[in-house]
Structure 1
């Protein structure tokens, strides 16, 4: 199945984990080549008004400062989707009940695997946390 379709299925699990209050963290890893952008981390901000996330871009170069931006889950989806197959080949969803890994293979097909949870509780993001 094309990776774009599989990523939509993966993202449904992200949304479900948020609804259940189990979303702990999301990480984009396994870069293509050695770009300056090393990782993208997504951490939750649970509030009564609306759920948001902090998206942190971590760079390899010490000259490039890491950046953080608070955004909605919908905006985060579009942002992360734009980095698939251009910068990253895998996305890891950490919830309190399971870890879900989305991967793109060399032929451009996507896959989803599940493992035991890494996190037992949710730690909310602090904006500008180092």
Structure 2
């Protein structure tokens, strides 16, 4: 199945984990080549305005500062989607009930696998204040 279709199925699991309150973290990993962008992390932020996520772009180069921004889950989806297959081959969803791994193979097909949870608790993200 094309990775775009499988990613939509994967993203439904992300939304379910948020609704159930067990979303711990999401990580885009396994970069293609050696780009300056190393990872993208998504962590939960619960506020009086409702659920948001802290999106963090982590760079390899020490000269490039990490970039953080607070977004809704839908906004995060729009930011993450263009990085699939262009920058990253895998996305890992960590919840308190299971880990879900989305992968894209060399032919552009997507797959989803599940494993035991890496996180036992949800830790809320803190925006770095300088």
What TM-score do you get using the length of structure 2 for normalisation? 0.97
State the match for 1:111 in structure 2: 111
Q: Counterpart of 1:28 in 2: which secondary structure?
A: strand
Measured in 1, the distance between the counterparts of 2:71 and 2:47 equals 13
What TM-score do you get using the length of structure 1 for normalisation? 0.97
Q: Counterpart of 1:53 in 2: which secondary structure?
A: strand
State the match for 2:40 in structure 1: 40
State the match for 1:92 in structure 2: 92
Measured in 1, the distance between the counterparts of 2:86 and 2:127 equals 27
Deviations, residues 8-57 of structure 1 (Å, cap 9, x unaligned): 00000000000000000000000000000000000001234321000000
Taking only aligned residues, the RMSD between alpha carbons, in angstroms, comes to: 0.9
State the match for 2:77 in structure 1: 77
Gaps of 5+ in 1: none
Measured in 1, the distance between the counterparts of 2:88 and 2:50 equals 28
Q: Counterpart of 2:92 in 1: which secondary structure?
A: strand
